[in-house]
Amino acid sequence: MVKISAEIDEELKNQFKGLAIEKYGKKKNVLALALKEAIDRWISEFKLPNKTFEDFSDSKVSNQKSAITVIEVSSNNLLESKEPIKDLQDIDLKLLYTIGYQNKNINLFIELLKKKEIKTLVDIRRNINSKKENFSGVELDHILRQHKITYVSLSLLGPPPEMRYELYDTKNYPVFFEKFKNYLNNNINYLEKINKLTFPICLLCYEDKASECHRSVVAEKLKELNNKWIIEHIELTKKDLTYKKDLTSFDIKIETVKNEMSING
């Protein structure tokens, strides 16, 4: 999801949020909608070469100065525009996240989903069985239900076995991604099922980095078919890694207690 960078001063964030609500009302995801409108207008007005809205999303704004510039200009655009470019009721932006469970225990994984208010987790692994505890399809479905998150398996959105085996042998990701794109182009109907699910949605696979996983290709193909998609790849931050370390320590303590109870019992 496009959002204001956490590095930006809270006062500036709140000012922009206030302008967004004043302009559009208290609608769901008003901040993302207002920011998109403002940046689109900015790109159009200054005729920025080869720039799109995604170039100014949180994942691309890499330093505080650039991030503040984006928000300041966006705030000015909101102030200067007397009426919205579009009626927000006609805007149907869809929030699509992706995540890999590599290097995550189930506690951290659930916490990351809840932070993004995920409603539906779409498992796009070809094989939903996993040697990692809690991440096989049936187990994961049971756990997600406890957190009011719907689990859906769309295994045909996973790469066919022959593509995966070739990637294991060659490590050639560009070739793998190109072949997988062709596979999706020939099976567009597999993607259409996602539109019928409850948003926000998160695509699930194994690899930690989206750049090394077919889920990035699925996400981009969905956006290609409908430019109203807003895509964000959920990846670990330093804060998340600290949290993960704490959870791991906690899990070890719990396991120790269980073992002691077993011995003493």
The reply to whether 251 falls in a domain is no
66 and 192 share one domain: no
102 and 230 share one domain: yes
User: Which tokens hold the place of 219?
Assistant: 């996400």
Q: DSSP E strands: which ranges in 39-149? A: 94-100, 120-123
42 and 80 share one domain: yes
The reply to whether 160 falls in a domain is yes
Q: Which run of H or E residues covers position 153?
A: strand 150-153
Host domain of residue 157? 94-234
The reply to whether 73 falls in a domain is yes
38 and 109 share one domain: no
Question: Which of 30, 64, 88 is at the close of a domain?
Answer: 88
> What residues pair up with 231 in beta bridges, in sequence order?
96
66 and 147 share one domain: no
52 and 112 share one domain: no
51 and 158 share one domain: no
Q: How many domains does the chain have?
A: 2
Q: What is the CATH number of the domain that holds 165?
A: 3.40.1010
34 and 62 share one domain: yes
Low-confidence stretches of the chain (pLDDT < 50) are: 1-8, 46-50, 53, 56-70, 72-73, 76-91, 243-265
* pLDDT tens digits, 148-167: 999 999 999 999 999 999 99
| Backbone torsion region of residue 35, taken as left when φ is above 0, otherwise alpha when ψ lies between -120 and 50, otherwise beta | alpha
pTM over 0.75, yes/no: no
The reply to whether 3 falls in a domain is no
In 3D, which of 160, 234, 154, 227 has the Cα closest to residue 192? 154
Predicted pLDDT of residue 90: 38
Residue type (1 letter), 110: I
Predicted pLDDT of residue 95: 80
Distance of CA 98 to the CA centre of its chain: 4
Predicted pLDDT of residue 239: 60
186 and 156 share one domain: yes
The reply to whether 150 falls in a domain is yes
HSE-up (13 A, CA, CB side) for residue 84: 19
Cis peptide before 161 (omega within 30 of 0): no
Angle at 201 between CA 119 and CA 142, to 5 degrees: 50
163 and 122 share one domain: yes
* Residue 160: DSSP 8-state: P
Predicted pLDDT of residue 43: 53
Pair 144, 109: CB distance under 8 Å? no
Distance of CA 73 to the CA centre of its chain: 25
The reply to whether 28 falls in a domain is yes
Whole-angstrom distance, CA of residue 171 vs CA of residue 164: 10
Q: Which pairing describes strands 201-205 and 150-153: parallel, antiparallel, or unpaired?
A: unpaired
47 and 145 share one domain: no
136 and 205 share one domain: yes
Pair 109, 101: CB distance under 8 Å? yes
The reply to whether 258 falls in a domain is no
Whole-angstrom distance, CA of residue 195 vs CA of residue 215: 16
Predicted pLDDT of residue 48: 46
The reply to whether 20 falls in a domain is yes
Packing angle, helices 238-264 and 106-115, rounded to 10 = 140
